[in-house]
């Protein structure tokens, strides 16, 4: 039994992978906010935030801080048309670029060396080592950087930074903060990691201040910030880091090999989806994962209650209809259920809402939403139940049970219904997507603040991150539901387990 | 769904085995006649199914309802339009200007024509002289049914509800039919490919089917509509067609697989039929039944989803008349019951009719369920 369950769960993995590919394709439908090279930094940022600068599936040559630095150096050295953009890029990369830029500078011709040194002047200013004015002359700037690297090269190692950040978090002082500031962006990886690891207000203030200073962006926490504010600011920094990590980190050896796959649009998207970090909402800057966690219980509650209610009604109705096949009850319930089966959930919900306007309903809107959602499910499930029961009723063991002289009640419930329940269990899994879609509708009609309600707000605001997260979450929920219903079916019926073992393909044929 | 659907197919095999006998000639011909005689009721599955379908009273009722709806959709412009069906205006005669919308008549409508009619001008007005997208003036907002000129009342923009319901029929059925055709084409092609080629392609299709059927269609349609830069009705159509083929593909694959295992396919192969011929002539015809049933239910689900999306996204810039949109508008106008009742009735009628036909077709084509029907028939 355990083997069967495991097997079924494992078979869900390729399905989920295929789902991720489908959803990844859906993400590509969203319009490109703009291409790089435009002057508007906001547009370029939006472009990068959706990883549109990365290739789709395979990144043969992943960019990192070293390749970016060397490219900028190349443009600066040749002094071609793009040397101004290259100078800006070098200033942005900052301290993280120095270990790759400064050793190279020595081998450049004097005028190129001067241009690079001047381009790095804003970095020196950020580090608090010199005023940009002092470094405007190429000669002075080149001399400054050559001395700087002679003195400080040993500080530019990750172990040194790690220790410095650790000390700052434990007992911070302005001196230690300045130490880190003088490393500029080189310290960013450790700082971002440290942010997630501490809840101390003072430490967070120092960390975010450094990060904000060296990147010239982003929120700085006040030391007396609330927990909520702190959480949000850290989430914002982590989100930014997820997009910009390779600007400040070099990919070596194994990391480079992995980056061929992960530094792609699909890789980034998958990494985010798999880690449950789904980005930040465009409406209010709230992390999507948090929002989803807050809203999902309402949707799941409505779905679960509707499912239970429709089971409780559908099983007896369907079974009785089949048992009394062709009689008044069967025909009447069949006709009513047929019409209900065809009625859209939104119409049921809207009519129900109109009928109950101004009236107190016990349990309020949830009750109404569950009732509206259950109507369609009752119709579907009871029709399945009836068909399953009809199949069973005609079988020999039921006739045998009758012949043994058992009461009709006992035959119907113990012999027939027990067997007729099983197909309905699996089919109930197939019904999940419909139920979930219906839950979105009833939430909107009755104003329940669940996932569906929020999704319709996100549609108005074109909040792509939330929308993608919702499709992903519902697909995963449905897949898990299918697995659960298959496992339940297998637990009830050993023949199913053998079938799966034979077929190996889950529910394919 | 069981794979051995057709238990009565030995006819071809018998035929071939007799032919091998050395004493051919008359004996073979006689046996062939005999076999044909015995096999006749089983061979023409389609004919039996069709007869069964026509016998079903519910199916006929559904088909009749659908025919009426189709007529409404086709003649929507005759039932409700701002231009006349035929007219003479400023000395020129126009036929069906409500369909062709000639440039000479832009800016005029039936009311204006009646008002400043010149000598010799005449017009044959449609049933309701308002188009579905034409907004009315302030007096005409939210008129109840049976108001003058508006048999079903108006909506919150003063648009005539009758015109919107009538033209909504065209939207719903047209979209449903197109999406359903696309869906059936994809489903049959993919299912046939998976069943016929097998191996890795089959596994790939199986994964695609599983993953696509795990995504709630309504949610996906809403999300795609929000992500695409300029969503149109075609977006909705393709979203549904590209994700809802899975059920049909599974059925077609099963049909093709079961056909490939039969003796008549073995015989065809033995006689040197090409794979293409085996697929098209021997395997795929078995899938016509599921395809038809899927088409009927496909139309129903497209109509339903289109209505639900328009209901939820009311106010989106979409000028097409749609039942769902009218019902969505009613959400902010509690007193306007007619905005729910009439489009809702039209929607329900369409869905019930499609389901009636679809289910009758399924019952007629599925031998397992056919037994059920026969039993019910004899039992009264």
Q: What's the per-residue H, E or C state across A249-286?
A: CCCCHHHHHHHHHHCCHHHHHHHHHHHCCCCECCCCCC
Residue predicted with more confidence, B45 or A30: A30
pLDDT at residue A160 in the model = 86
Interface with chain A: mutation pick from B176, B207, B330, B379, highest number of A CBs within 10 Å: B207
B234 interfaces chain A, CB cutoff of 8 Å: no
pLDDT band at B247, cuts 50/70/90? confident
Does residue A472 have a pLDDT over 60?
Answer: yes
pLDDT band at B28, cuts 50/70/90? low
Is the separation of the CB atoms in A262 and A275 below 8 Å?
A: no
Q: What is the pLDDT of residues B101-137, one digit of tens each?
A: 777 777 777 777 777 777 778 878 788 777 777 777 7
Interface with chain A: mutation pick from B61, B190, B223, highest number of A CBs within 10 Å: B223
- Asked if the Cβ–Cβ distance from B340 to A347 is below 8 Å, we say yes
DSSP class of B143: P
- Asked if the Cβ–Cβ distance from A478 to B216 is below 8 Å, we say yes
Cα separation of B194 and B260, whole Å?
12
Percent of chain B with pLDDT over 70: 82
pLDDT band at A262, cuts 50/70/90? confident
pLDDT band at B13, cuts 50/70/90? very low
Chain A residues whose CB is inside 8 A of the B252 CB are none
State the CB neighbour count (10 A cutoff) for residue A385.
Answer: 26
Chain B residues whose CB is inside 8 A of the A345 CB are 308
Residue predicted with more confidence, A153 or B15: A153
Mean pLDDT confidence for A426-449: 87
Q: What is the pLDDT of residues A334-349, one digit of tens each?
A: 899 989 988 999 999 9
Chain A to chain B, count of Cβ pairs less than 8 Å apart?
Answer: 160
pLDDT at residue B327 in the model = 86
pLDDT band at A413, cuts 50/70/90? confident
- Asked if the Cβ–Cβ distance from A342 to B217 is below 8 Å, we say no
Cβ within 8 Å of A, B 333-362: 334, 337, 340, 344, 347-348, 351-352, 354-356
pLDDT at residue A251 in the model = 86
pLDDT band at A316, cuts 50/70/90? very high
pLDDT at residue A246 in the model = 86
A296 interfaces chain B, CB cutoff of 8 Å: no
State the CB neighbour count (10 A cutoff) for residue A470.
Answer: 29
pLDDT at residue B15 in the model = 46
* pTM for this model (two decimals): 0.80
Q: Which residue of B has its CA nearest to A477?
A: B214
- Asked if the Cβ–Cβ distance from A436 to B216 is below 8 Å, we say yes
pLDDT at residue B379 in the model = 23
CA-derived radius of gyration, chain A: 32
A471 interfaces chain B, CB cutoff of 8 Å: yes
pLDDT at residue A488 in the model = 83
- Kind of pairing between the strands at B122-124 and B92-95: unpaired
| Lowest mean per-residue pLDDT among A57-66, B140-149, B169-178, B332-341 | B140-149
Which two three-digit tokens encode residue B68? 């009426």
Q: What is the pLDDT of residues A275-309, one digit of tens each?
A: 777 777 877 777 888 888 999 999 999 999 999 99
pLDDT band at B174, cuts 50/70/90? very high
Average model confidence (pLDDT) across chain A: 84
Closest Cβ opposite residue B218 in set A430, A437, A459:
A437
| Residue B119: strand, helix, or coil | coil
Q: Closest Cα of chain A to B21: distance in Å?
A: 40
Is the separation of the CB atoms in A185 and A96 below 8 Å?
A: yes
- Asked if the Cβ–Cβ distance from A433 to B324 is below 8 Å, we say no
Mean pLDDT confidence for B88-97: 80
Average model confidence (pLDDT) across chain B: 79
Cα separation of A124 and A141, whole Å?
10
- Asked if the Cβ–Cβ distance from A470 to B219 is below 8 Å, we say yes
Cβ within 8 Å of B, A 4-43: 14-19, 21-23, 26-27, 29-31
Cβ within 8 Å of A, B 148-207: 203, 206-207
pLDDT at residue A326 in the model = 84
pLDDT at residue B374 in the model = 29
Residue predicted with more confidence, A28 or B271: B271
Does residue A508 have a pLDDT over 60?
Answer: no
pLDDT at residue B368 in the model = 46
| Lowest mean per-residue pLDDT among A4-13, A360-369, B221-230 | A360-369
ipTM: 0.81
Mean pLDDT confidence for B57-83: 89
pLDDT band at B372, cuts 50/70/90? very low
Cα separation of A435 and B214, whole Å?
12
Which two three-digit tokens encode residue B364? 């007629």
pLDDT at residue A38 in the model = 60
Chain B residues whose CB is inside 8 A of the A462 CB are 226-227
- Catalogue the long-range contacts made by B240-244 (C-beta closer than 8 Å, 24 or more residues apart): B240/B179, B240/B183, B240/B301, B240/B302, B240/B305, B241/B179, B241/B182, B241/B183, B241/B186, B242/B186, B243/B212, B243/B215, B243/B217, B244/B183, B244/B217, B244/B298, B244/B301
pLDDT at residue A37 in the model = 57
- Asked if the Cβ–Cβ distance from B312 to A346 is below 8 Å, we say yes
Residue predicted with more confidence, A502 or A325: A325
Does residue A144 have a pLDDT over 60?
Answer: yes
pLDDT at residue A146 in the model = 86
Chain A residues whose CB is inside 8 A of the B257 CB are 509
B254 interfaces chain A, CB cutoff of 8 Å: yes
DSSP class of A175: H
Cβ within 8 Å of A, B 308-337: 308, 311-313, 324, 327, 330-331, 334, 337
Chain B residues whose CB is inside 8 A of the A347 CB are 327, 340, 344, 347-348
**Cα A74 from chain centre:** 38
- Asked if the Cβ–Cβ distance from A433 to B217 is below 8 Å, we say yes
A299 interfaces chain B, CB cutoff of 8 Å: no
| Residue A389: strand, helix, or coil | helix
- Asked if the Cβ–Cβ distance from B215 to A430 is below 8 Å, we say no
CB crowding A312-329: b at 16 or more within 10 Å, else e? ebbbebbbbbbbebeeee
pLDDT band at B351, cuts 50/70/90? very high
Cα separation of A73 and A108, whole Å?
10
pLDDT at residue B380 in the model = 23
Sign for the CA dihedral angle at A350, A353, A354, A355 comes to: positive
Cβ within 8 Å of B, A 423-452: 430, 433-434, 436-438, 440-441, 444-445
Q: What is the pLDDT of residues A53-86, one digit of tens each?
A: 888 888 888 888 888 888 888 888 887 777 788 8
CA distances, B127 to each of B75, B78, B84, B163, B166 (Å) = 11, 7, 9, 10, 11
Is the separation of the CB atoms in A486 and A7 below 8 Å?
A: no
Does residue A256 have a pLDDT over 90?
Answer: no
| Lowest mean per-residue pLDDT among B46-50, B231-235, B367-371 | B367-371
Closest CA to A237 of A204, A203, A273: A204
Closest Cβ opposite residue B311 in set A22, A346, A390:
A346
Closest Cβ opposite residue A440 in set B206, B215, B219:
B219
pLDDT band at B373, cuts 50/70/90? very low
Percent of chain A with pLDDT over 70: 96
Does residue A457 have a pLDDT over 70?
Answer: yes
Chain B residues whose CB is inside 8 A of the A509 CB are 3, 250, 253-254, 257
Does residue A330 have a pLDDT over 80?
Answer: yes
């Amino acid at each position: 039994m355990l083997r069967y369950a495991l097997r079924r769960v494992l078979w869900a993995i390729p399905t989920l992978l295929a789902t991720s590919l489908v959803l990844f394709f859906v993400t590509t439908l969203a319009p490109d906010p703009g291409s790089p090279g435009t002057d508007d930094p906001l547009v370029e940022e939006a472009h990068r935030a959706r990883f549109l600068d990365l290739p789709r599936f395979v990144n043969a040559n992943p960019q990192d801080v070293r390749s970016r630095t060397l490219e900028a150096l190349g443009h600066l050295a040749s002094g071609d048309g793009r040397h101004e953009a290259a100078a800006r890029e070098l200033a942005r990369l900052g301290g993280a670029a120095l270990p790759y830029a400064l050793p190279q500078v020595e081998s450049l011709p004097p005028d190129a060396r001067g241009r690079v040194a001047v381009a790095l002047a804003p970095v020196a200013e950020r580090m608090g080592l010199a005023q940009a004015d002092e470094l405007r002359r190429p000669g002075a700037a080149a001399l400054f950087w050559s001395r700087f690297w002679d003195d400080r090269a040993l500080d530019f190692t990750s172990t040194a930074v790690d220790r410095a950040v650790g000390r700052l978090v434990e007992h911070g002082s302005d001196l230690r903060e300045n130490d880190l500031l003088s490393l500029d962006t080189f310290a960013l990886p450790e700082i971002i990691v440290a942010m997630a690891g501490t809840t101390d207000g003072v430490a967070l203030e120092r960390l975010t201040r450094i990060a904000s200073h060296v990147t010239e962006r982003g929120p700085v926490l006040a030391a007396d910030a609330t927990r909520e504010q702190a959480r949000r600011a850290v989430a914002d920094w982590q989100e930014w880091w997820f997009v910009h990590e390779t600007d400040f980190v070099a990919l070596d050896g194994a990391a480079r090999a992995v980056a061929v796959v992960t530094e792609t649009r699909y890789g980034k998207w998958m990494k985010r989806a798999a880690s449950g970090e789904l980005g930040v909402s465009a409406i209010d800057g709230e992390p999507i994962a948090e929002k989803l966690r807050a809203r999902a219980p309402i949707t799941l509650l409505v779905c679960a209650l509707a499912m239970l209610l429709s089971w409780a009604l559908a099983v007896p109705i369907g079974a009785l209809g089949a048992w009394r096949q062709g009689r008044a009850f069967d025909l009447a319930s069949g006709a009513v259920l047929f019409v209900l089966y065809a009625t859209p959930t939104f119409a049921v919900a809207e009519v129900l809402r109109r009928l109950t306007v101004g009236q107190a309903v016990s349990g309020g809107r949830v009750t109404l939403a569950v009732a509206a959602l259950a109507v369609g499910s009752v119709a579907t499930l009871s029709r399945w139940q009836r068909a399953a029961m009809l199949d069973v009723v005609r079988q020999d063991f039921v006739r045998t049970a009758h012949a043994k002289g058992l009461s009709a009640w006992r035959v119907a419930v113990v012999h027939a219904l027990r067997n007729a329940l099983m197909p309905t269990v699996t089919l109930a899994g197939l019904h999940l997507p419909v139920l979930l879609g219906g839950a979105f509708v009833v939430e909107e009609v009755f104003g329940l603040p669940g996932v569906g309600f929020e999704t319709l707000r996100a549609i108005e605001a074109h909040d792509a991150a939330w929308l993608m997260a919702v499709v992903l979450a519902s697909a995963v929920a449905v897949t898990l539901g299918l697995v659960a219903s298959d496992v339940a079916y297998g637990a009830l019926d050993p023949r199913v387990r053998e079938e799966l073992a034979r077929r190996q393909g889950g529910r394919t044929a | 769904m069981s794979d051995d659907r057709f238990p009565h197919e030995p006819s071809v095999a018998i035929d071939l085995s007799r032919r091998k006998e050395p004493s051919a000639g008359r004996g073979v011909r006689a046996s062939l006649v005999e076999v044909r005689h015995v096999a006749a009721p089983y061979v023409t599955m389609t004919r039996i199914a069709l007869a069964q379908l026509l016998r079903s009273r519910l199916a006929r009722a559904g088909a009749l309802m659908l025919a009426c709806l189709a007529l409404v959709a086709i003649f929507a412009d005759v039932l409700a339009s701002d231009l006349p069906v035929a007219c003479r205006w400023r000395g020129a005669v126009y036929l069906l200007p409500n369909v062709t919308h000639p440039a000479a008549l832009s800016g005029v409508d039936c009311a204006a024509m009646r008002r400043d009619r010149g000598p010799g001008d005449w017009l044959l007005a449609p049933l309701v002289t308002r188009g579905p997208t034409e907004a009315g003036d302030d007096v005409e907002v939210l008129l109840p049914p049976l108001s003058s000129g508006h048999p079903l009342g108006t909506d919150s923009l003063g648009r005539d509800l009758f015109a919107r319901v009538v033209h909504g029929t065209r939207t719903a059925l047209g979209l449903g039919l197109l999406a359903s055709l696309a869906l059936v084409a994809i489903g049959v092609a993919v299912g046939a490919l998976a069943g016929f080629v097998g191996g890795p392609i089959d596994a790939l299709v199986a994964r695609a089917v599983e993953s696509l059927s795990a995504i709630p269609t309504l949610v996906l349609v809403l999300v795609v509509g929000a992500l695409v830069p300029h969503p149109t009705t075609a977006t909705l159509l393709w979203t549904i067609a590209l994700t809802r083929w899975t059920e049909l593909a599974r059925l077609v694959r099963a049909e093709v697989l079961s056909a490939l295992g039969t003796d008549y396919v073995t015989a065809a192969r033995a006689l040197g039929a090409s794979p293409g011929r085996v697929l098209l002539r021997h395997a795929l015809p078995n899938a016509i039944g599921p395809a038809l049933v899927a088409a009927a239910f496909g139309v129903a689900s497209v109509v339903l989803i289109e209505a639900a999306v328009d209901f939820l996204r009311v106010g989106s810039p979409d000028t097409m008349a749609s039942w769902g949109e009218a019902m969505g508008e009613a959400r902010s106008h509690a007193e306007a019951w007619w905005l729910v009742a009439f489009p809702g009735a039209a929607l329900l009628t369409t869905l019930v009719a499609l389901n009636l036909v679809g289910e009758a077709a399924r019952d007629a084509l599925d031998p397992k369920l056919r037994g059920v029907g026969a039993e019910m028939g004899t039992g009264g």
